[in-house]
Amino acid sequence: MQRDTIIGPPISQPLCQRYGALIWSLLDAGLHKSALFYAERYFVEDVQNHDARHLYATALIEAGQPHSAHRLVNVPAKGDAGCTGCLHVLAQCCMKLGRHRQAREALEGCLRDSAFVPSRSMGQRTASAFPDAATLCCQAGNSALKGNLHESAAMSYRQALALNPMIWEAFEGLCAIGDIPPIDNLFPPRPEPVLQKPGEEGPSRPVPVATGAGFFTPEAGSAGNLFRDWKPGLKAMDAAAGPRDSIATADSSFYGEPSFQAPMRASRSQPANMAVQPPAVRPLSSADEVGPVTKKLRSTARQRPAPPSTAAAEAHHLKPSKSAGAVPSAAADDRPKSSKARARPALTIANLFSSPGRSAQNVAASSRSIVFGAGKAAVGAATRRSTRLQSGAGKPPSKTATRERRRVPTKTRSQSQSHDSGLEEEPGGASSAFAPVSPSVQGTHSEVSPPLPSAEWTAEREHAAKEAYDIELADYQIYDVMRKFASSTRALALYDCRLCLAELEKLSHQQQRSASVMAIVGKAHYELGQYPSAERAFEAVRVLEPYRLWDMEVYSTLLWHLQRNIRLSFLAQELLSTDAKSPQAWIAVGNCFSLQKEKTQALTCFRRAAQLDPTCAYAYTLSGHESIDEDLNKAINFFQSALRADARHYNAWYGLGTCYMRMSKLRLADYHFRKASDIHPQNAVLLGCVGMVRERYMKYDEALELFHRAIQFSPENALVRYHRAKILIALKRYTAALEDLQYLKDTSPEESNVLFQLAKVYRLTGDNVKFTQLLAEVHDVAPKSLAKIRKLTESIKPQDVGEEVMDEG
């Protein structure tokens, strides 16, 4: 386990559930890199959580890193003892490593603990018979990328992210290709969830429901949802554990921002296999025993009264007949006025719903009626209570009067509603509490009895709202962490290293101290040419994860640049002992031999790394750099092989440009240097190489502009400053040239070329004293330069001094 990891407070149980569900869904789909990414995020948030440790170790095993998994479960943190689950994962690691005796001991330890209760993520899951569409698209993209079909790979990765934006491998594939859309387009920002309080309406957007068919499955009615096709197919675990203890029934809210969703319709379609509405959408009530919620939309909103002619005609058409056992119309007119006032709005609503030219129903009122609608029993109770109060007699009404009052609103329904499930509702009931009410009816209700609340804020509903909020907050936290990592990874892929470091600063302290983040920091500083900072970052990676193989080829090259012979040799031995079949180990060994000037053995090691992984472009590139001094054609072949493996490997483009520069093929050199600079636009060395080609073409203004840009990106780059000083001398800008040369003399006092150019500037400016002093220094540093010193001394006029320069090697 990582001893130096910052230990934070325990994370919430819903966040643990969501992490576990997401990681297992990716593991079961075979997306091991994506599962490892989220498993590390989960583990560094709470290193004391054994469930997170088990998931992280399992993901490491599946990703081919059994040594790291073995250390994770075999070396517990301070004050934390291992558990039986750790022993079980340890046994798997030992079997992967061929340590069968240790595996047997670990398994015997599992058998001795009969009272061990496995964590939720270790339960059984239902495996899918076939991968989902998002997984297939991601796998197709991986195959296309290895086959050098970048356009097809980019299309597959985009499809995978459209179906499931949590597939990290698809995003990494886009970064490898270099075709990376803005993060806000790939992963739209989401507002932070808000806890529902008493008196507030339900959520403005539908809460996704887990139907058992897939993880994070949205409702069928959310047609405008950005992630509507996202069904990675999570395997359900322990379905009998309850709604929140089961992955198959856990809610999710991985949705886009509300602007991407369609308005809520009055009648939303529900998934066919959904048994219960989520508490956040509609609390359970007596309406669940009646039938579908959409049947109550007939009386949820009162519209404006119909014209008198239409109302009268329909009232005449719907008049009860005597054959049906109804009382004559004269008897109906003898009813109290309040009863007729309540019956007329029912006629109006029936006319509006049956008329083909009716006005549109208020969507918000309809949605509120769905959320807070009551059932048939509540409506009937409210109706009978108001009838008794209006009669004033204190006795139940007669059977004839009851039939009259019930038959009138029932008869007013149109023929298109004759197939309803027998719901008998009257205006003024609980289902119409949020509908507009006419003044007369409102006055009657205020005089008789106050309207009943549509839904009381009970303890159960408060618990359900808190539960839904916790799950939505957990999903938001995972999504937010993924977006921050995506921003930094995109910046690094585009070689905007300063932006990458700035994005990493937005992460929590626990995430910043993880091994993967420190590796990103090391690579960013390495690309910026800040080698000491990069070295510190990679040392932290080795402390946090000593058996890590990924990114170690960059670390070994960094040690080669810093001339750390002993440390590089130790790193190569450690990597070989960890995995002798990894290309990173053989690259480190090759760099070690290269630092000792043993080029033949270095080439053998780089060739071995390329054999172990033919897609490793870095092995071909290092082989080319080792061959560039002896055989340019052989070096060109190595660089071209690297580009076939990775077309965005700017080191290979730079190597080809160097080869053509030495062959004096300036046009080809300029092309390859520019290709490398387009991939890595902030690299001072590449800009300097393009400037040197411009200098050879005698285009000093263009070269000087390139050198200025390069020094802005890397002020400490000595080679670029030296070439800029030479151009400034050719342009007779001696003062600016003296500044650059004096800076180089202070940083590299024993560089003979710098001393020679500085002496030339003093000669041209007429400062003979300093000119003589510098010539003496040049003679002491480079005795072989006596001929050039004599030629410079014999020159009489400053304009006669040629542009001779000493060997820059």
User: Is 753 or 491 the better-scoring residue by pLDDT?
Assistant: 491
CA distance 214 to 313: 53
- pLDDT band at residue 795 using 50, 70 and 90 as cut-offs: low
Q: Output the 3-class SS for 355-406.
A: CCCCCCCCHHHHHHHHHHCCCHHHHHHHHHHHHHHHHCCCCCCCHHHHHHHH
What is the C-alpha R_g of the chain? 38
Specify burial of residue 715 (Cβ count, 10 A radius: 0-12, 13-18, 19+): exposed
Residues 447-467 have a mean pLDDT of 67
User: Is 370 or 200 the better-scoring residue by pLDDT?
Assistant: 200
The model's pLDDT over 371-392, given as tens digits with 9 standing for 90+, comes to: 333 333 333 444 433 333 344 4
User: Is 290 or 661 the better-scoring residue by pLDDT?
Assistant: 661
pLDDT, residue 372, reads: 36
CA distance 413 to 272: 29
Of 122, 148, 179, at which residue does a domain stop?
122
pLDDT, residue 322, reads: 39
Of 558, 588, 613, at which residue does a domain stop?
613
308, HSE (Cβ side, Cα atoms, 13 Å): 0
User: Backbone dihedral region of 277: left (phi > 0), alpha (psi from -120 to 50 degrees) or beta?
Assistant: beta
Predicted confidence (pLDDT) at residue 60 exceeds the cutoff of 90: yes
Nearest to 730 by CA among 750, 707, 701: 701
Separate counts of helices (H) and strands (E) for the chain: 37, 0
Query: Side chain identity at 315, as an amino acid letter?
Result: A
SS3 125: strand
- pLDDT band at residue 608 using 50, 70 and 90 as cut-offs: very high
- Is residue 685 included in any domain, yes or no? no
Nearest to 457 by CA among 252, 159, 200: 200
CA angle 475, 479, 481 (to 5 degrees): 120
Alpha helices (H) in 450-582, listed in sequence order = 459-493, 497-504, 509-512, 515-527, 531-544, 552-561, 565-578
Beta carbons within 8 Å of 278's beta carbon, 6+ residues apart: 207, 209, 251, 468
pLDDT, residue 270, reads: 38
Weakest-pLDDT range from 266-270, 407-411, 461-465: 266-270
Residues 611-633 have a mean pLDDT of 94
- Is residue 410 included in any domain, yes or no? no
pLDDT, residue 458, reads: 82
CA distance 215 to 128: 12
- pLDDT band at residue 791 using 50, 70 and 90 as cut-offs: confident
- Is residue 22 included in any domain, yes or no? yes
The sign of the CA dihedral 138, 143, 149, 152 is negative
Contact between 361 and 301 under an 8 Å Cβ cutoff? The reply is yes
User: Is 458 or 615 the better-scoring residue by pLDDT?
Assistant: 615
Predicted confidence (pLDDT) at residue 698 exceeds the cutoff of 70: yes
Weakest-pLDDT range from 158-162, 261-265, 689-693: 261-265
Q: Give residue for tokens 């297992």.
A: 24
- pLDDT band at residue 8 using 50, 70 and 90 as cut-offs: low
Alpha-carbon distances of 623 from 312, 605, 634, rounded to whole Å: 95, 9, 9
Contact between 182 and 174 under an 8 Å Cβ cutoff? The reply is no
Beta carbons within 8 Å of 476's beta carbon, 6+ residues apart: 190, 192, 193, 253
- Is residue 333 included in any domain, yes or no? no
- pLDDT band at residue 345 using 50, 70 and 90 as cut-offs: very low
Of 65, 92, 122, at which residue does a domain stop?
122
Other beta carbons within 10 angstroms of residue 681's beta carbon come to 15
The sign of the CA dihedral 391, 393, 395, 400 is negative
pLDDT, residue 136, reads: 95
Predicted confidence (pLDDT) at residue 405 exceeds the cutoff of 70: no
Residues 425-444 have a mean pLDDT of 38
Predicted confidence (pLDDT) at residue 399 exceeds the cutoff of 80: no
Contact between 722 and 740 under an 8 Å Cβ cutoff? The reply is yes
pLDDT, residue 773, reads: 85
Weakest-pLDDT range from 143-147, 267-271, 478-482, 621-625: 267-271
The model's pLDDT over 191-207, given as tens digits with 9 standing for 90+, comes to: 988 887 776 655 444 44
- Is residue 185 included in any domain, yes or no? no
User: Is 437 or 153 the better-scoring residue by pLDDT?
Assistant: 153
Domain count across the chain:
3
Nearest to 168 by CA among 177, 154, 157: 157
pLDDT, residue 123, reads: 58
CA distance 350 to 414: 6
pLDDT, residue 522, reads: 97
Alpha-carbon distances of 506 from 54, 64, 166, 487, 528, rounded to whole Å: 27, 30, 20, 10, 20
The model's pLDDT over 262-302, given as tens digits with 9 standing for 90+, comes to: 333 333 333 333 334 344 443 333 334 344 444 444 444 44
Residues 648-652 have a mean pLDDT of 95
pLDDT, residue 114, reads: 80
CA distance 486 to 55: 22
CA distance 198 to 180: 44
pLDDT, residue 456, reads: 67
The model's pLDDT over 626-645, given as tens digits with 9 standing for 90+, comes to: 999 989 999 999 999 999 99
Alpha helices (H) in 596-662, listed in sequence order = 599-612, 617-627, 632-645, 650-662
Range of the domain at 544: 514-613
The model's pLDDT over 572-606, given as tens digits with 9 standing for 90+, comes to: 999 999 999 999 999 999 999 999 999 999 999 99
- Is residue 538 included in any domain, yes or no? yes
Q: What is the DSSP string of 735-760?
A: HHHHHHHHHHHHH-TT-HHHHHHHHH
Other beta carbons within 10 angstroms of residue 457's beta carbon come to 15
- Is residue 44 included in any domain, yes or no? yes
CATH code of the domain containing 792: 1.25.40.10
Residues 218-233 have a mean pLDDT of 38
pLDDT, residue 531, reads: 93
Average pLDDT, the chain: 73
Predicted confidence (pLDDT) at residue 802 exceeds the cutoff of 60: no
CA distance 277 to 85: 36
The model's pLDDT over 98-135, given as tens digits with 9 standing for 90+, comes to: 999 999 999 998 888 887 777 666 655 666 678 889 99
What tokens does 121 get? 């993520």
